[in-house]
């Protein structure tokens, strides 16, 4: 139902924002498992995320995904000139598809934009750039991928306003 989709996307966006804002703790004793313990505690105590939700998203044996770290370090915006990057991302085909998706999902985009105070145009742009509108998801769990990126913390200060 529409309400279930809204809750799903709301949880996913909320989890992404939360994980992006988590400081890097890789240098702490205990490594990744200690970091996950702190992450879980903060998620439950500060953000009100239930333990059952965290258990369903993060398996007990979860470890950072090396391929995600590798891909993050090879982002095209870091390896191409701005002009080459822009020309590869902003194509007439992608712009046309963005207009179609914005129209097809206008109500969901409007509601999500209002709830999270994000312009729907930015949501569509990110959806396009990051997944080609769901056609390229990389085959990884989004929460596990975000946790991997948050753990390595290459951009954690940026997301905390630093």
> By C-alpha distance, which of 138, 131, 76 is closest to 98?
131
Residues 72, 157 contacting (CB under 8 angstroms)? no
The confidence score (pLDDT) of residue 141 equals 87
**Which residue shows structure tokens 């991302």?**
89
Dist CA 162 CA 151 (whole Å): 17
Quick one: pLDDT at residue 124? 95
Q: Concatenated DSSP letters for 63-119?
A: ---HHHHHHHHT-HHHHS-HHHHHHHHS-HHHHHHHHHHHHHTHHHHHHHHHHHT--
Question: pLDDT digit of tens for each residue in the chain (162 aa)?
Answer: 555 555 555 555 555 555 555 544 344 467 888 888 888 898 899 889 999 999 999 998 899 899 988 888 887 777 888 888 888 888 999 999 999 999 999 999 999 999 999 999 999 999 998 889 988 878 888 888 888 888 876 655 543 334
- Predicted local confidence at residue 28, as pLDDT: 46
Alpha carbon 154 to its chain centroid, in Å, reads: 14
pLDDT on residue 24: 44
How high is the pLDDT of residue 47?
85
Identify the CA nearest to 102 among candidates 133, 137, 129.
133
73-80 long-range contacts (CB < 8 A, ≥24 apart) are 73/154
User: What CA–CA distance (Å, rounded) separates 133 from 136?
Assistant: 8
Neighbours of 124 (CB within 10 A): 20
CA dist 108 to 6, 7, 17, 18, 112, Å? 7, 11, 19, 21, 6
Residue 4 confidence (pLDDT): 55
pTM of the complete model = 0.61
The confidence score (pLDDT) of residue 16 equals 57
């Amino acid at each position: 139902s529409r309400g279930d989709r809204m809750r799903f996307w709301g949880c996913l966006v909320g989890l992404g924002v939360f994980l992006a804002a988590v400081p890097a703790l890789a240098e702490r004793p205990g490594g990744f498992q200690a970091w996950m313990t702190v992450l879980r505690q903060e998620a439950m105590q500060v953000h009100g995320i239930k333990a059952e939700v965290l258990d369903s998203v993060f398996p007990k044996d979860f470890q950072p995904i090396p391929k995600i770290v590798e891909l993050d370090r090879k982002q095209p915006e870091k390896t191409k000139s701005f002009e080459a990057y822009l020309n590869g991302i902003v194509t007439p085909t992608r712009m046309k598809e963005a207009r179609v998706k914005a129209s097809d999902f206008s109500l969901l985009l409007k509601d999500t934009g209002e709830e999270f105070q994000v312009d729907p145009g930015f949501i569509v742009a990110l959806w396009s750039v990051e997944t080609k509108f769901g056609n390229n998801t990389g085959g990884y769990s989004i929460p596990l991928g975000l946790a991997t990126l948050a753990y390595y913390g290459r951009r954690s200060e940026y997301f905390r306003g630093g």
